[in-house]
Amino acid sequence: MQADSALARELRHHYLFCALTEAQQLRLLATAVPRRLAAGERLFSRGDSAAQFFLLRSGCVKLYRLSPEGSEKIMRLIRPPQTFAESVLFMDVPCFPVSGEALDAAELIAFDRETFLGILRESFATCRAVMAHMTRRIQAHWDEIETLALENSRYRVVHYLLGLVPRDAQGQLTVTLPARKSVIAAHVAVTPETLSRTLRALSDEGLIEVAGEAVTVRDVERLRRHMH
User: In the range 145-204, which residues lie near a copy of itself by CB under 8 A?
Assistant: 145-146, 148-151, 189
What's the min distance (Å) between Cβ of 68 and DNA?
12
- Rounded CA-CA distance 179/39 in Å is 12
What's the min distance (Å) between Cβ of 150 and DNA?
9
Phi, psi of 53 (to 5 degrees): -125, 175
Name the residue among 119, 117, 107, 114 with its Cα closest to residue 43. Answer: 107
Name the residue among 89, 102, 83 with its Cα closest to residue 44. Answer: 102
Task: Confirm or reject binding of residue 141 to a copy of itself (CB under 8 A).
Answer: yes
Task: Confirm or reject binding of residue 65 to a copy of itself (CB under 8 A).
Answer: yes
Of 31 and 123, the one with the shorter C-beta distance to a copy of itself is 123
User: In the range 92-131, which residues lie near a copy of itself by CB under 8 A?
Assistant: 92, 97-98, 120-121, 124, 127-128, 130-131
What's the min distance (Å) between Cβ of 192 and a copy of itself?
15
Task: Confirm or reject binding of residue 208 to DNA (CB under 7 A).
Answer: no
**Interface pick for DNA out of 25, 31, 87, 182 (rule CB under 7 A):** 182
Q: Give the long-range contacts of residues 20-26, CB within 8 A, separation 24 or more.
A: 20/119, 20/123, 20/126, 21/123, 24/119, 24/122, 24/123
User: In the range 54-113, which residues lie near DNA by CB under 7 A?
Assistant: 71
**Interface pick for DNA out of 135, 152, 174, 176 (rule CB under 7 A):** 152
**Interface pick for DNA out of 78, 190, 208, 217 (rule CB under 7 A):** 190
Q: Give residues with Cβ within 8 angstroms of 178, minimum separation 6.
A: 60, 77, 79, 164, 184
- Rounded CA-CA distance 190/159 in Å is 13
Task: Confirm or reject binding of residue 180 to DNA (CB under 7 A).
Answer: yes
What's the min distance (Å) between Cβ of 98 and a copy of itself?
7
